[in-house]
Amino acid sequence: MSIIPYGRQSIYEDDIDAVVSVLRSNFLTQGPVVPAFEKAIAGYSHAAYAIGVNSATSALHLACLALGIQRGDIVWTTPITFVASANCALYCGATIDFVDIDPQTYNLCIEALSEKLEAAKKRGGLPKLVIPVHLCGQSCNMEAIFRLSQEYGFKIIEDASHAIGGLYKGMPIGNGQYSDITVFSFHPVKIITTGEGGMIVTNNSSLARQVQILRGHGISNLEVEMHSRPKDEIWNYQQIELGFNYRMNDIQAALGLSQLNRIDEFVKARRSLARIYDKELAELPIKIPWQNPDSYSSYHLYPIRIARESQRKVYDALHSGGVGVNLHYIPVYRQPYYESLGFKFGYCPEAERYFHETLSIPIFPGLKDFEQQKVTELLKKVLA
């Protein structure tokens, strides 16, 4: 029996052809396709600049570095996210802390953020950076977070790994109206894929250039950025920073560019699956994902909220029925590595409740009607 996963990629013949044509070309990396994909993503998300990298994790790391995050700085994010949203701060030597989630949207809670900022201000320990995560593809309340950033003086990176193709107040996620940088993931379970890959979008030209330098070893070959050297020495490039090899390659970009042609179709398919779940599951003793009217969600995930006593039972019943339900996410600070940093059980009570009551059921464009029916029937049976 094949398992129905919670998410998977949709690959069409066009995608395969696009990848094969790069394989037949002169450049597998640093050719023309990465810049073409970057331009297309910038256009799609209404951002001035887009820089392709080999994962969203790398994108988050470079975004933090470009914003000057370093040892001694404090970064805040939500505990209900993938570990990469927090790890990026630790890569830079900064201190990470977590703001509890909103019980309705499961995104970072604005009231909790506001209170924590006020307390941090009194104590002297304000964050230099806050990383809101658009969980499941539903935008955070960016207007409110931006207002707080003006008041308390922090930078904002939107972790939009789930959310490309979504809108906030009618505008594409990534347009940068309420943040410094937005990051997208193209991992296969995400909205569009490049196999592995990520993108940084921003409207700030110097942040964009900094990220570009850092993804390629910290090397520049621009006259204005290079240090002066004797004229008889050949300096066709210089390493001016400590950078990384975080480049996206043309094979990945070709897949991404081809996938981008169908992004709106993918999001529509996810949303119509969500509407079916909303309807089919309405009578069950569960809570379906609440939708903020300011947000048009890309529905990367469809988390159902179950009584704590039933979570394990539902998880096991669906798995033995061939449905790969998953949990997004274990609060980051509960991970053993984070516990070793001193975080304790119960640190964010709302996140803990979510952890004990939530499961993500399958949602992806290729999910067949009969497969979705199987999911809803199994849920009805186990929760009856």
Which residues make up the interface to ligand PLP (CB under 6 A)? 55-57, 81-82, 84-85, 133, 159, 161-162, 185, 187, 198
Decide whether 90 or 317 has the Cβ nearer to ligand PLP. Answer: 90
CA 47, CA 185: separation in Å to the nearest integer?
16
The distance of closest approach from Cβ of residue 307 to ligand PLP in the complex, given in angstroms and rounded to an integer, is 26
- At closest approach, how far in Å is the CB of 9 from ligand PLP? 13
Q: Are 82 and 329 in contact (CB under 8 A)?
A: yes
Query: Between residues 299 and 321, which has the closer beta carbon with respect to ligand PLP?
Result: 299
Q: List Cβ<8 Å contacts ≥24 apart for 238-242.
A: 240/213, 241/213, 241/214, 242/218
Report the residue count for the chain: 384
Cβ 304 to ligand PLP shortest distance, Å:
18
Residue 327 Cβ, how far from ligand PLP at the closest point, in Å?
Answer: 13
Both tokens of residue 111? 């009231």
Q: Which amino acid is at 25?
A: S
CB distance 58 to 220 below 8 Å: no
Query: Residue 55 or residue 138: which is nearer to ligand PLP going by CB?
Result: 55
Q: State whether residue 128 is helix, strand or coil.
A: coil
Could you tell me the two tokens for 75? 């970064």
Cα separation of 71 and 56, whole Å? 22
Question: Minimum Å distance from CB 232 to ligand PLP?
Answer: 45
Backbone φ and ψ of 51, nearest 5°: -130, 120
CB of 261 to ligand PLP, least distance (A): 21
Alpha helices in 234-325 (DSSP H): 250-260, 263-280, 308-320
Structure tokens at 163: 């959310």
Instruction: Give the CA angle between residues 10, 15, 20 to the nearest 5°.
Output: 140
Which of helix, strand or coil describes residue 227? coil
Nearer to ligand PLP, 44 or 329 (CB): 329
**CB closer to ligand PLP, 325 vs 383:** 325
The structure tokens 């449905």 sit at 323
Shortest separation between residue 152's beta carbon and ligand PLP, angstroms: 23
The CA distance from 236 to 355, in Å, is: 53
Separation between Cα atoms, residue 7 and residue 300, nearest integer Å = 8
Closer residue to ligand PLP (CB): 158 or 383: 158
CB of 185 to ligand PLP, least distance (A): 4
- Closer to ligand PLP by Cβ: residue 185 or 298: 185
Decide if 338 contacts 321 (C-beta within 8 A): no
> Which of 15, 159 has the CB closer to ligand PLP?
159
Q: In the complex, what is the shortest distance from the CB of residue 284 to ligand PLP, in angstroms, rounded to a whole number?
A: 27
Place of tokens 């942040």: 207
User: Which is nearer to ligand PLP, 194 or 220 (by Cβ)?
Assistant: 194
